[in-house]
Amino acid sequence: MRKLFGTDGIRGVAGEYPLDKKTVFAVGQALGHHLPAGPRRIVIGQDTRESSDWIVQTLSAGLRASQTEVESAGVITTPGIAYLAHTNKFSAGVVISASHNPWQDNGIKVFGPDGYKLADATELEIEQEIFSRLAGETPSATDLSALAADIQLHQAYVQWLARPIAGAGRIKVVVDCANGAASAIAPEVFKLCGINAEFTHNSPDGRNINENCGALHPEVVAREVVARKADLGICFDGDADRALFADHQGEVVNGDAVMLLLARQLKQRGELASDTVVATTMSNMGLEVALKALGIKMLRAPVGDKYVLDEMKKSGAVIGGEQSGHIILSREATTGDGLLTALRVLEIVAGSGKSLAELVAGMKVFPQVIKNVRVREKQPLSLIPAIWASIQEAERDLNGSGRVVVRYSGTETLARVMIEAESKEKMEKHANAIAQAIQAALGS
């Protein structure tokens, strides 16, 4: 059982354990020591939070203490570091970001030399070494130094993404960068692709990342699309590993609809390996029904893009993702990439001559509600009688006409209650009952 690493690296409040300076330094030492023998080189990138600079400096000091060379790509997306790690022969790649979390939080994500996130077992080994080093010294001021960003690393990722999209200049696009890492990449990429784009929330100040914008608030870009009479909107999260969309009518288009759109195109081209798509337990039943009508099988993985990727490798699928907008196109990338997803969606829209609304109209969404409950600890839900009884009651009542998914967040101290049902009344009733049971037993 890992104590530091969640589904997406180490995450917490910047300056507090496990993101205090002593622990971050120990993380750098442990990670550097864990790398394979030989020349050790790590590429590091960061998002726009005000804490990212000192975390980069502290982690780099720990890496250097383990005889590891550190190169900086500056402010860059999480998938940008994954790309650079495996194309530039780095020993590993590290991203300092807390993704969609508020600015007070931060995180440490690690990619191996192949560009993939570390296996759970590997993270556990690194954790054990981190704990063994916590009794050591905290880095002194002389150990810390700013890293100059290598513009060539930035450009390598931009050039990989950017290629002209025929007809894209005729489409007016509004792009919400969430005041995050996309702010440093998206304008350059979209210009090189010939996309007629207007950008919002691309002026980060260290504290406005994800604040009432981006993929956490897709309704914001949806309103902008209507107000600016644009054809579609795109919004990223803080580290741009996911993207959500809005059509010209101001309707949000989530990751489920994007998977349908991309899978249909791949199948038409004869490129959908195994005629399979991997989604998660949170994906809507409507996606499953729409894919089945196209002759495409849908598999469900646990929430977390690393688990989606694991299932893709097992099944041979080349596309997978989450309702939240993490889309993995495994023939092109090793992890979810919001910019890559946006470009592929724009290619389809520009090439079809149809609106985004028309292209995703084939998916009938089943009513779904998600309730988040902040908890003080993450006890097994099945061992708490009141919670377990409310879950079983919901499953009995729905009797196959819906789904109940109750799980803990892998990145926050939250329990998530998701219920999907043909009956909105039953859906709301049981979601409230389960959430109240969790609040009573575990609420913070």
Question: Which residues does the annotation mark as catalytic?
Answer: 99
Question: Rounded CA gap, 326 and 329, in Å?
Answer: 10
Looking at residue 404, the DSSP 8-state letter turns out to be E
Instruction: Beginning with the edge strand found earlier in the chain, give each strand of the sheet holding 243-247 in spatial order.
Output: 196-200, 172-176, 232-236, 243-247, 252-253
The three-state secondary structure class of 139 is coil
Contact 233, 223 (CB under 8 A): no
Structure tokens at 237: 């999260």
Nearest-10 crossing angle of helices 52-65, 21-34: 40
> Phi and psi (nearest 5°) for 93?
-130, 140
Give the angle subtended at the CA of 53 by the CAs of 52 and 58, to the nearest 5°. Answer: 95
Parallel, antiparallel, or unpaired: how do β-strands 327-329 and 414-421 relate? unpaired
395-433 as b/e: b if 16+ CB within 10 A: eeebeeebbbbbbbbbbbebbbbbbbbeeeebbebbbeb
DSSP state string for 353-403: -S-HHHHTTT-PPPPEEEEEEEBS----GGGSHHHHHHHHHHHHHHTTSEE
CB-CB neighbours of 269 under 10 Å: 8
Sequence-ordered list of residues with C-beta below 8 angstroms from that of 437, at least 6 positions apart, any chain: 384, 386, 387, 389, 390
Query: Of the candidates 75, 98, 70, 67, which has an alpha carbon nearest to the alpha carbon of residue 85?
Result: 70
**CA atoms of 185 and 80, how far apart (whole Å):** 10
